[in-house]
Amino acid sequence: MYKILIVDDVLENRKLLASIISENTDYEVITAKSGHDIINRFESIENNPPDLILLDILMPKINGFHIAQILKGRDTTKDIPIIFITALTTAENKIKAFEAGGVDYISKPFHKQELLARVNTHLKIKILHDELKLKQKVLLQREVELKELLDKKTKTIKKITKKKGIKEKEEYAAEDRDEAEYVIPRVCNHSANLAEMYGCPKDFIRRIRIHAAFIDAGEAGLPEGLLALKRKFTDDEVEIMRQHVLIGANLLDTQDIDSMAKNIALYHHEKWDGKGYISNLKGESIPLEARITGLVDVYYALISTKPYREAFSEEDALIFIQEESGKAFEPRLVDFFVSLKKPS
């Protein structure tokens, strides 16, 4: 049930407004007789704020403009919509009412249906605004949680790379330091850059920058020791290794995690020509986020040292990427990626 606060120094006005609202809606109505009354009850108003305020302007000592400014100046009440109700009808007063934070202005004597229509309209707007704020809050919290997961994943991969025999970063030149510490953020950033070049919406770019980190989340569920082998996998081991896309998708298949994360984990080994795994998707049937991160992931895999081979040079890695255009990778993405790595 929504709560309406009526503030007017004239008792008859308060009664009339309250009766119109009570008789035609199921809203709860509370009243205040002056600006001082509002100030004296401010603590209770903050603790249990109304959903909308009908505020008279001409009141003794503290007028409605002043009360509106006080309400709009406090975090707990600044988002409550205020409709001014007054006999003042000049353009100057209407402008002043909006400048004070009002969302609407109803002149006295008011029409019952007009009053109800405007009250209902601004309540609907407030509900939508509150829902948007809640979604934004949940989204921001989720981003914090995902960044924490990214940090944990980075630490996990650092341990794996050490087991593979990758040198500690103090043994590397500055540009070649610890793969795990640097590769994951680079995959995220390059995926976002590639998505931007592709023309993706800003929200898609923001999301892929976060969720690209979970591309190999399923590796955590592989048999212990498999990733630490210092040789090429056997055919049987390859089949086991391929299961990491299903494991990752299962781990990320929850309502609390953006579906983009699951798509990246599940489909990043699909190929443009349909010869990838594990679903053998082809072309644009592969989710765009997976096509993007899959390409970036291959590039960084190529330029990283493996137990069974030396790292590719960046130039050779780009040549390989170009050779796979139209086969493993979408040609348009290849062109963008090459231009990203080789700016003109």
180 exposure class (CB count in 10 Å sphere: 0-12, 13-18, 19+): buried
Output the six-digit token pair for 26: 């199921």
Cα separation, 55 vs 276, in Å, equals 66
CATH class of 136-341: mainly alpha
Q: CA nearest 294: which of 265, 336, 261? A: 265
Residues 49, 81 contacting (CB under 8 angstroms): no
Residue 155 confidence (pLDDT): 59
**Is CATH 3.40.50.2300 correct for 3-110?**
yes
CA distances in angstroms from 309 to 232, 255, 305, listed in the order given: 9, 40, 7
239 exposure class (CB count in 10 Å sphere: 0-12, 13-18, 19+): exposed
Residue 181 confidence (pLDDT): 53
Annotated domain spans of the chain: 3-110, 136-341
Cα 90 from chain centre: 44
Residues 296, 209 contacting (CB under 8 angstroms): no
Ordered mean pLDDT values, 10 residues apiece, the chain (344 residues): 90 91 92 88 87 91 89 88 85 84 85 89 86 72 66 54 38 39 80 96 92 84 76 86 88 80 94 95 97 96 83 94 96 94 68
The dihedral of CA 100, 105, 107, 111: what is its sign?
negative
Residues 302, 311 contacting (CB under 8 angstroms): yes
Residue 139 confidence (pLDDT): 63
Residue 344 confidence (pLDDT): 52
Tokens 């109803």 belong to residue: 106
Query: Which DSSP letter does residue 167 get?
Result: P
3-class DSSP state of 156: helix
The dihedral of CA 189, 195, 199, 202: what is its sign?
negative
CA distances in angstroms from 124 to 18, 118, 127, 132, 152, listed in the order given: 19, 10, 5, 12, 42
b/e burial code for range 194-209 (CB count within 10 A of at least 16 → b): bbbbbebeeebbebbb
Other Cβ atoms within 10 Å of 321 Cβ, number: 21
Cα separation, 288 vs 245, in Å, equals 16
Residue 39 confidence (pLDDT): 86
Other Cβ atoms within 10 Å of 97 Cβ, number: 23
Cα separation, 126 vs 27, in Å, equals 15
CA dihedral 165, 265, 329, 322 (to 10 degrees): -20
Amino acid at 70: I
Other Cβ atoms within 10 Å of 322 Cβ, number: 14
Q: Considering only CA atoms, give the Rg of the chain.
A: 31
Q: Taking the model in full, what pTM does it have?
A: 0.53
